[in-house]
Structure 1
Amino acid sequence: MDSIILSLLILAAVTLLITQHIRAEVTALLIIATLAMTGMLTPEEAVSGFSSSATVTVAGMFILSAGLIRTGALDMAITFVLRFARESRRRLFLLFTALVPTLSAFANNTPIVVMMIPITLTVCRRLTISPSKLLMPINYLAILGGTCTLIGTSTNILVNDLSKSNGGPEFGIFEFSLLGILNLSIGVVYLYFLSDRLLPDRTPVILQSTQDRGGTFDTEVIVQAESSLIGQPVSAVFGKDAEVTILEIIRERDVLRSPIDPTTIIQPDDALIIHGTAKDIRNLISSVGVVLASAIEEGDAAKQQPGDTTLAEAVILSNSPYVGRRLSRIGLHRLYGVKVLGIERLGRPHRLLIRETRLKVGDVLLVQADVEGLVRLREAGGVMVVEEIQHTMVEREKAPIALAIMVGVVTLAAFNVFPIVSLTLTGAALMLLTRCLRLSEATQAMNTSVLLLMAGTIPLGLAMIKTGLAFDIAHHFLSIIGSTQPWVVIGGIYFLTMVFTSFFSNTATAALMVPVALGVATEVGMDPVPLMIAIIFGASSCFATPISYQTNLMVLGPGGYTFKDFVRIGLPLNLVLWVFATIAIPIFFPP
């Protein structure tokens, strides 16, 4: 009976993680509560994920990574890359190939990608290169680099911890590095020769606007009581020759959709969904008495402040407090003077009522504000602000200290002097004690979405073993693949992990797959080591969809990508790496 209940719980959890109807953190807490309330686990077992060494280690790695970036410890390497890139995109790609995987092998992928996006946009503008040709490859390089060490990704750490706690193997920090480097090399060759052909030549809205290339987007404006539009027909303002076109009129509960009758009279408080360039929309706003809907918060019309403003993109991160909240309720204009011109979701303009839109992870907001407002928005956390120039305060005099702390952690871990969890905690504490990082910055750096998801899925794996569900799934898995040959089993585990991680969290995928793989190893009578390696590498094969990994969502807007772009370049890469892993893992880790 417990197996049936647990199966239904897993199905419900996977559905919620894929559809994102509720936040991943809430799903994780529901998993914990259900496991405890149904008696499948004791209360102590249900909350064991919070005290798991994997969760604590990942939290420490978030702080260590933030310390490196906050002090500018990585700037020297980046400066070197930019100096030798000159005018060549190929040379720039090769230099990024040397830099990004090296960084992501020892620091969390997310802050690395966050740091690289504005740098890449600046370089692309300087060298007249489309960012779409570089941002996705850089993101993929960061993901591939994470497979080179145990601390490269939170998923690696989680698989190691789950394996060890359930009687499986434990890995050293560099135990699968050679395989990871070969995996990275195949990815580099693939991207070098095919990314230019498969990726589009697009410029994102933020660069289109600053370069006056006519980048267009949709936004919502409200007709104020003193507007000169009142009483005029739509054709008088939004005729055939108008720079700005009207898509919809929202009048109380009625929605007039395109094509709108040209004789329709504009009335006070009409919400107009319009389409045009940033320049033309700003001209319309200043001349006819309408206000951006995003400047109306909680029922109060905010005055639009004149002055020197700039356009930027703000990407909603997975740990953002804005996820699930309406734009009108988060107070961006009131708190930071930031006005939202438009929203892009999964590479497409979002045309619903902007102020009533509930924000999702990966949403890209095209915003307008002065530099000070953008800096304050960035420092508040929860969004990645992308501009042509990064206005980030760094403590450069602390850079040698931060670098020394990180090198010390990696070196001691490599020689197994202390457990990794102890080293990362010590390193995180030293970052704070030496003031490389403020306490508020450390708490911002810890991705609560990832940590809570780990805390929720770790006991789920324990329940799968305790109820026998893991062994039932393992038996069915072997029946489906129809072979107990080690290379077939390894390839099957990798493929299943790769498919799951394409549609929901790789952390959750790893937590589900580890007990299944241990059950398969027991039933077949093979060493579980190659199966754990297959899960580690399969969970990082998250190239085919933008929703499979949070850094994919981060580059979606700034790169001007669509869902199809990820499938076009990412799916073949997934398949190539799957074939490589199926052949290579049994050679490096004999079953």
Structure 2
Amino acid sequence: MMSELAMVLALLGVAVVMFAINRPRMDVVAVIMMVALPMTGVISMSEALMGFSDPNIVLIAGLFVIGEALVRTGVAQRLGDWLTARAGASEAKLIFLLMVIVAGIGSFMSSTGVVAIFIPIVLRIAHKAQIPAGRLMMPLSIAALISGMMTLVATPPNLIVHSELIRQGYEGFGFFALTPFGVPILVMAVVYMLVARRFLAPGPAPARPERAALANWVEDYSLAGREHRLRLHQSSGLAGKRLDVLDLRASAGINIVAIERGSRFRRKLLQPRAETVLHGGDILLIDHRAGDAAPDFDLDAFAQQHDLSVLPVTGQWFTDTAQEIGMAQVIVPPTSRLIGKTVTKARFRNIYDLSVIGIKHGTKPVAAEIANENLRAGDTLLTVGPWRAIRKLQEERRDLVLLDLPAESDEAVPARHRAPLAVGVLALVVVLMVWGIVPNVQAALLGCLLLGLFRCIDMAGAYRSIHWQSLILIVGMLPFSLALQRTGGVDIAAQALLGWLDAASPRLVLAAIFAVTGILGLFISNTATAVLMAPVALAVASALDASPYPFAMAVALAASAAFMTPVSSPVNTLVVGPGNYRFSDFVRIGVPFAVICLITSVVLVPLVFPF
């Protein structure tokens, strides 16, 4: 038995190291563990795959879809607009309303998605109220994390702890079981941030007082000096040739953004593709920046050589074509598969039908050839292309997160008249879950079907909204819980914890479980932390002959208390650039508040769930 335990612990150690260095991706690590664990003989292959049949996995997937429908119908954005109108120029009122709204929305959808929605809203408010963005971004991320302490379905770790209780024969948590702790912690977070925000390094607010227009972005990124329009004469040597044959990117460093074709009164904009054939009379919108391909590029010489006419490009041109071609700023999240790749190697235009014409590392624009620039987590990309492609970005969550749209997008995107239907479906799902009329997973699936029926979301958008990496991570880590129990690892960990505390009071044990969970969450995903710590907490309760609920609740609350570093959660990573933060900012603000959460939990949890 000890040899089997040693093998399981060795695999667990390898998994933790790979999680910490983020090599390979977390979901790949999970698949490796699913394959490796049965080789120890502790569990079978069917047991390693049992997570795929867990109702909570389906429930989490359904919640991703419901959250996406709230985004697509504009419910979350409308709340942001209401916040803007109500807060005015009061920083204290703004922080209060912001944290309450974000925590409320995050109770029913992905906290990462909530932050992505509110970053541009907060930036605009910060600039208008002359408040440094750094004073508002930290409250935003903290409120999003606290949203995981509001309801049972707010975050995957809650459902994992709930599932472990049921698996060991106990009754699971109710829908609002965490709310008595989340609400007080949120209140303390608001008060704490009203004081602690003063210690954040103030940075410039990079937003405009009003929503940026296409012409503004042309000015900001100096596109008028880099973007050009070239008309092909009938005699041009480029006419009649395919773009993949010409390969202008490689030969001249030219990126064709769009093609204007037709007369002035019947003009249409074409999205350039490899098989597109150029015609005489076409107008090419190109983006060029001196780089390795053509360091000495001369636009006039190129035009003369190929019998082209150079036409002006102004912000007004982009405004005039706003119904056909648009721009969007997107941010690269920590989970993105684009990290470490260049725009060219990532085949960005082929995949998204959009061209990248600007990149910012944090708040600094890239001055070099952007096609050869490796992308990093938190980078901001300025993209240009047809509105249908930009609208698809609103459904993307894994590799790119839509950061901002220009003012022209209000007229280009479809009307959001289905928002009341989305809100009604959400209310129905919550009622079904709260009253236990049907199982939670059935309520979520019913909500997904109704959202599809009312055309709040389509099947393609539903599939894209599901964060498959998170689901695979959960499924891959669940077998560790069973393997550690069978080999006695859970009991040994529980006894070691109790021995270290040396017959301490249950409250001190509760504090230790919270602290261990929080510290472990600094190195690995809070989802994986919940998988490992939930059975240990229940074993500790059994050894103390106490109720399992307070100890299980401590794990759930600690898993959401990931305030301490910018890499503790994707939520923190997203606000680093917009807030102009340093690593030390999260340590100075997050560590004291994590301690506050620990003390609050130790005081309140036994009152609601007695030992």
Q: TM-score, length-normalised on structure 1?
A: 0.79
The residue aligned with 2:474 is 454
The residue aligned with 2:485 is 465
Q: Deviations over 1:204-241 (max 9, x none)?
A: 5999996999999xxxxxx99989xxxxxxxxxxxxxx
The answer (yes or no) to whether the contact 2:359–2:380 under 8 Å persists in 1 is yes
The answer (yes or no) to whether the contact 1:344–1:350 under 8 Å persists in 2 is yes
The answer (yes or no) to whether the contact 2:522–2:568 under 8 Å persists in 1 is yes
Q: Distance in 2 between matches of 1:353 and 1:268?
A: 5
Q: Secondary structure in 1 aligned to 2:382?
A: strand
Shift of 1:371: 7.6
* Pair 380,57 (structure 1): closer, same or farther in 2 beyond 3 Å: closer
Q: Deviations over 1:541-564 (max 9, x none)?
A: 101111111111122222222222
**Candidates 576, 581, 597, aligned match of 1:561:** 581
Q: Distance in 2 between matches of 1:163 and 1:91?
A: 40
Number of aligned residue pairs: 522
Q: Secondary structure in 2 aligned to 1:557?
A: helix
Q: Deviations over 1:368-394 (max 9, x none)?
A: 546849826725722013236474846
* Pair 537,213 (structure 1): closer, same or farther in 2 beyond 3 Å: farther
Q: Deviations over 1:117-163 (max 9, x none)?
A: 12222222333332222122112112112201111212211211122
Q: Secondary structure in 1 aligned to 2:594?
A: helix
Q: Which amino acid aligns with 2:178?
A: F
1:490 aligns with 2:505: no
* Pair 377,357 (structure 1): closer, same or farther in 2 beyond 3 Å: farther
Shift of 1:64: 0.9
1:322 aligns with 2:338: yes
Q: Distance in 1 between matches of 2:89 and 2:205?
A: 18
The residue aligned with 1:116 is 118
**Candidates 319, 328, 332, aligned match of 2:348:** 332
Shift of 1:43: 1.6
**Candidates 58, 81, 85, aligned match of 1:79:** 81
* Pair 179,102 (structure 1): closer, same or farther in 2 beyond 3 Å: same
Q: Distance in 1 between matches of 2:371 and 2:585?
A: 29
Q: TM-score, length-normalised on structure 2?
A: 0.76
* Pair 13,148 (structure 1): closer, same or farther in 2 beyond 3 Å: same
Shift of 1:503: 2.5
The residue aligned with 2:403 is 386
The residue aligned with 1:367 is 382
Q: Which amino acid aligns with 1:435?
A: R
**Candidates 431, 438, 449, aligned match of 1:429:** 449
The residue aligned with 1:520 is 540
Q: Secondary structure in 2 aligned to 1:367?
A: strand
Q: Distance in 1 between matches of 2:199 and 2:59?
A: 40
The answer (yes or no) to whether the contact 1:503–1:545 under 8 Å persists in 2 is no
The residue aligned with 2:262 is none
* Pair 357,468 (structure 1): closer, same or farther in 2 beyond 3 Å: farther
Q: Deviations over 1:234-274 (max 9, x none)?
A: xxxxxxxxxxxxxxxxxxxxxxxxxxxxxxxxx994999xx
Shift of 1:429: 1.9
Q: Secondary structure in 2 aligned to 1:546?
A: coil
1:438 aligns with 2:458: yes
The answer (yes or no) to whether the contact 1:504–1:547 under 8 Å persists in 2 is no
* Pair 333,175 (structure 1): closer, same or farther in 2 beyond 3 Å: closer
Q: Which amino acid aligns with 1:423?
A: A
**Candidates 19, 22, 27, aligned match of 2:21:** 19
Shift of 1:447: 0.8
The residue aligned with 2:361 is 344
Q: Distance in 1 between matches of 2:183 and 2:593?
A: 16
Shift of 1:316: 2.1
Q: Secondary structure in 1 aligned to 2:153?
A: coil
Q: Secondary structure in 2 aligned to 1:553?
A: helix
Q: Distance in 1 between matches of 2:368 and 2:344?
A: 13
* Pair 517,430 (structure 1): closer, same or farther in 2 beyond 3 Å: same
Shift of 1:165: 1.1
* Pair 482,69 (structure 1): closer, same or farther in 2 beyond 3 Å: same
**Candidates 163, 177, 180, aligned match of 1:178:** 180
Q: Which amino acid aligns with 1:364?
A: D
The residue aligned with 1:154 is 156
The residue aligned with 1:403 is 423
Shift of 1:287: 8.6
The answer (yes or no) to whether the contact 2:334–2:378 under 8 Å persists in 1 is no
Q: Deviations over 1:160-212 (max 9, x none)?
A: 11221133441000123112211211111111222233353344599999699
The residue aligned with 1:248 is none
Shift of 1:395: 5.2
Larger CA deviation: 27-36 vs 99-108: 99-108
Q: Distance in 1 between matches of 2:488 and 2:116?
A: 41
The answer (yes or no) to whether the contact 1:150–1:174 under 8 Å persists in 2 is yes
Q: Secondary structure in 1 aligned to 2:46?
A: helix
Shift of 1:95: 1.8
Q: Deviations over 1:421-444 (max 9, x none)?
A: 111121112212221101111111
Q: Which amino acid aligns with 1:363?
A: G
In structure 2, runs of 5+ residues without a counterpart are: 223-248, 254-289, 303-311, 319-325
Larger CA deviation: 54-63 vs 546-555: 546-555
**Candidates 7, 10, 27, aligned match of 1:8:** 10
The residue aligned with 1:237 is none
Q: Deviations over 1:296-345 (max 9, x none)?
A: xxxxxxxxx96657986532235544346454311225654433644537
**Candidates 505, 509, 533, aligned match of 2:553:** 533
The answer (yes or no) to whether the contact 1:494–1:538 under 8 Å persists in 2 is yes
Q: Secondary structure in 2 aligned to 1:504?
A: coil
After superposition, residues 492-511 of structure 1 pair within 5 angstroms as: 492-511=512-531
Q: Distance in 1 between matches of 2:9 and 2:186?
A: 36
After superposition, residues 254-273 of structure 1 pair within 5 angstroms as: 269=292
Q: Deviations over 1:82-117 (max 9, x none)?
A: 212222222222221332222112222122212111
* Pair 571,350 (structure 1): closer, same or farther in 2 beyond 3 Å: farther
* Pair 527,82 (structure 1): closer, same or farther in 2 beyond 3 Å: same
**Candidates 59, 62, 65, aligned match of 1:63:** 65
The answer (yes or no) to whether the contact 1:64–1:427 under 8 Å persists in 2 is yes
The residue aligned with 2:225 is none
The answer (yes or no) to whether the contact 1:502–1:543 under 8 Å persists in 2 is no
Q: Which amino acid aligns with 1:338?
A: S
* Pair 475,431 (structure 1): closer, same or farther in 2 beyond 3 Å: same
Q: Distance in 1 between matches of 2:550 and 2:436?
A: 22
Q: Distance in 2 between matches of 1:369 and 1:143?
A: 33
Q: Distance in 2 between matches of 1:193 and 1:289?
A: 61
1:586 aligns with 2:606: yes
Q: Distance in 1 between matches of 2:368 and 2:6?
A: 41
The residue aligned with 2:498 is 478
Shift of 1:408: 0.9
The answer (yes or no) to whether the contact 1:112–1:142 under 8 Å persists in 2 is yes
After superposition, residues 206-285 of structure 1 pair within 5 angstroms as: 269=292
> Sequence identity of aligned pairs in percent?
27
The answer (yes or no) to whether the contact 2:332–2:400 under 8 Å persists in 1 is yes
